[in-house]
Amino acid sequence: MIESKLIWMNGELVDWKQAKVHVLTHALHYGTAVFEGIRCFSTDKGPEVFRLRDHIVRMLESTKIYLMDFPYSVDEICAAVKKTIAANNHRECYIRPLAYYSYGEMGINPLPNKVSLAIAAWEWPSYLGEKAEKAGLRCQVSSWRRIHSSAMPPQAKATANYANASLAKVEALKAGYDEAIMLNQDNHVAEATGENVFKIKGGIISTPPASAGALRGITRDTIIKVATDMGIEVSRNEFSREELYTSDEVFLTGTAAGVTAVREIDGRKIGSNGAYPLTEKLRTTYMDIVHGKVPKYEKWLDYVNA
């Protein structure tokens, strides 16, 4: 990890190495925390946080699902994010706001504990690895199933949910793959461990709906809107792993990962001779948007120095 100087904690900027919690913090034991993953990009007008407000609105929706008595508004958190970026003099960075039940009482019930908020920002150039992102990812369909909404709320971006994703990720890495793709209980594709899944067949883009267990990703929503504006048909529908195998192209989207092509799934080659033309078109457009080069999508850019 590339360390920064300061982290925002409950309204104060504290030294990176002093941003600590008690070992008996409730969230540390029971997974009672929610978070967001956000990116800041450099532009000709200075650093911008991509779709900041959309991320924070989703975070507050997660706190509502987990009955958190959250003391901050969307505007207050957005301002704190910008303050954290500016205090660390970042031009580009990854941002992690984390709301968690803090130290107080132990036990399964989190409600007696105060809800705390921390915001960290650091340089994180490549989440999936530069080599994999350039050449395309090798993915494995995991033996671990994506959590079902009858057991956990998939639309809450809760830390507890990612224990499920971590099992799939480690399984894939130990098998020699870059990433895992998870199915739901009905054997339909849900999502990857930290990204949404898209397939392309006959010029039509498809991605699993939220009802399949896919998180409503901000980057996912961006690509759906951009592709639609390009005149490309986009469908939210369920599909099987076999349909991934026979796709013309497959790609993953996420705040950390951006837009990344998949070149292989379970030993089956995807694409034609390593070419992913539509994925590359969408990836290039996405990068132009986040760097402020497409005026049409300026509304998604939240400038740190504004």
Rounded-to-integer distance, Cα 87 and Cα 70, Å: 24
Rounded-to-integer distance, Cα 73 and Cα 70, Å: 8
Rounded-to-integer distance, Cα 283 and Cα 301, Å: 17
Percent helix, strand, coil in the chain, to 5, is 30, 25, 40
DSSP 148: P
Please identify which of the residues 45, 83, 157, 299 carries the catalytic annotation.
157
CA angle, residues 107, 109, 111, in degrees to nearest 5: 125
176 is written with which tokens? 């020699």
Active site residue 157: yes
Rg over CA atoms, the chain: 19
Greatest distance between any 2 Cα atoms in the chain? 58
Please give the positions annotated as active site.
157
